[in-house]
């Protein structure tokens, strides 16, 4: 069995605010040290995302605001916090990890991941919904530049991937499958972006299974970029759907990675949503993200 590289660096973290988006990766990384998953290798990203890579999907004004804080309204538009140089650095490194996971999966034709969050709502010229840089859209564009002909973004975060949908619209070679349990950042589906809003937990896994099964000619897909949010969990106060359990999300990961393996498609995954709260403690949240890593590693 080959090694599963999972990109992470303490440089991803911004701990001056209480936000799982910028802090939870540390707990997952620590858990992998305390309780390793066989064949999983935590790897430092090669470099932060660059301005020219950001400019593949974002406006120059917004790219500059992210990097320098020059335009305060734009720099703070993610809704996470007031811009600081350290905050910017954390987002640039976390998105650099997405790029490295995408290119690693594409070139080795085996799974890879990055402990990154806060990507799929980000728009062309601003952030929103705790998302700053749309690393999913950037990753897909970079994969095309590196020779991929067909990239599928699978977004199973609780919330819609409307930012990604807007950034890939009309670009040949990039598609999205999006199953949400919250209408936030939902959108009207298109042949390019298959969007489904699920409102009953009993429908959740059957819908995930069905939309993957409906995907045409999966053998021709070069890469899946998987936004593996665990916030559909019923104990997540932001996004959770009553009846969606830890076991169901584990089975969801099994469905996604088994489908990809069956069709010989490498998967680059990221963490995305999943939030601590009164009913979801750190151990439980870490376990949810570990389940994604375990399935990606083939267990």
Site residues for Zn ion per CB under 5 A: 157-159, 229, 231, 239, 273
Buried/exposed code over 129-155 (b: 16+ C-beta within 10 A; e: otherwise): bbbbbbbbbbbbbbbbeeebebbbbbb
Instruction: Choose between 45 and 229: whose C-beta lies nearer to Zn ion.
Output: 229
Give residue number: closest CB to Zn ion: 273
CB of 159 to Zn ion, least distance (A): 4
Instruction: Choose between 20 and 104: whose C-beta lies nearer to Zn ion.
Output: 20
| 31 alpha carbon, distance to own chain's centre | 20
CB of 70 to Zn ion, least distance (A): 29
Instruction: Choose between 89 and 245: whose C-beta lies nearer to Zn ion.
Output: 245
Cβ–Cβ < 8 Å for 269, 296: yes
Residue 236 makes CB contacts below 8 A (sequence gap 6+) with 158, 230, 273, 274, 275, 277, 280
Instruction: Choose between 45 and 239: whose C-beta lies nearer to Zn ion.
Output: 239
CB of 130 to Zn ion, least distance (A): 8
Instruction: Choose between 71 and 287: whose C-beta lies nearer to Zn ion.
Output: 287
Secondary element (H or E) of residue 47 = none
Buried/exposed code over 257-266 (b: 16+ C-beta within 10 A; e: otherwise): bebbeeeebb
Q: Can you name the residues that pair with 177 across neighbouring β-strands?
A: 154, 194
Instruction: Choose between 48 and 130: whose C-beta lies nearer to Zn ion.
Output: 130
CB of 20 to Zn ion, least distance (A): 10
Instruction: Choose between 104 and 157: whose C-beta lies nearer to Zn ion.
Output: 157
Q: Can you name the residues that pair with 179 across neighbouring β-strands?
A: 196
**Integer Cα distance of 146 and 140 in angstroms:** 10
Instruction: Choose between 159 and 289: whose C-beta lies nearer to Zn ion.
Output: 159
Alpha helix segments (H runs only) across the chain: 20-34, 51-54, 60-68, 72-75, 85-108, 135-145, 162-168, 201-214, 246-262, 282-297
End-to-end CA separation in angstroms for the chain? 10
CB of 183 to Zn ion, least distance (A): 12
């Amino acid at each position: 069995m080959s090694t599963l590289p999972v990109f992470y660096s303490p440089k991803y973290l911004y701990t001056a605010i209480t936000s799982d988006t910028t802090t939870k990766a540390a707990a997952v990384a620590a858990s992998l040290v305390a309780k390793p998953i066989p064949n999983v290798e935590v790897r430092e990203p090669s470099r932060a995302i660059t301005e020219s890579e950001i400019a593949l999907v974002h406006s120059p004004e917004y790219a500059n605001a992210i990097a320098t804080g020059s335009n305060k309204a734009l720099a703070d538009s993610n809704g996470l916090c007031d811009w600081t140089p350290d905050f910017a650095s954390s987002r640039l490194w976390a998105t650099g990890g997405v790029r490295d996971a995408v290119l690693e999966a594409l070139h080795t034709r085996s799974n890879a991941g990055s402990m990154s969050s806060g990507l799929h709502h980000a728009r062309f010229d601003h952030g929103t919904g705790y998302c700053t840089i749309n690393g999913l859209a950037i990753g897909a564009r970079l994969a095309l530049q590196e020779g991929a002909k067909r990239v599928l973004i699978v977004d199973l975060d609780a919330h819609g991937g409307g930012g990604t949908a807007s950034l890939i619209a009309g670009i040949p070679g990039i598609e999205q499958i999006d199953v949400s349990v919250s209408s936030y950042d939902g959108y009207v589906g298109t042949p390019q972006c298959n969007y489904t809003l699920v409102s009953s937990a009993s429908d959740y896994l059957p819908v995930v299974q069905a939309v993957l099964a409906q995907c045409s000619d999966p053998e021709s897909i070069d890469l899946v970029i998987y936004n593996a949010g665990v916030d559909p969990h019923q104990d997540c106060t932001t996004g959770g759907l009553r009846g969606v359990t830890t076991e169901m999300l584990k089975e969801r990961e099994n469905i996604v990675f088994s489908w990809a393996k069956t069709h010989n498609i490498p998967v680059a995954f990221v963490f995305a949503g999943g939030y601590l709260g009164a009913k979801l403690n750190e151990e439980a949240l870490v376990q949810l993200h570990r389940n994604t890593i375990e399935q990606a590693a083939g267990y």
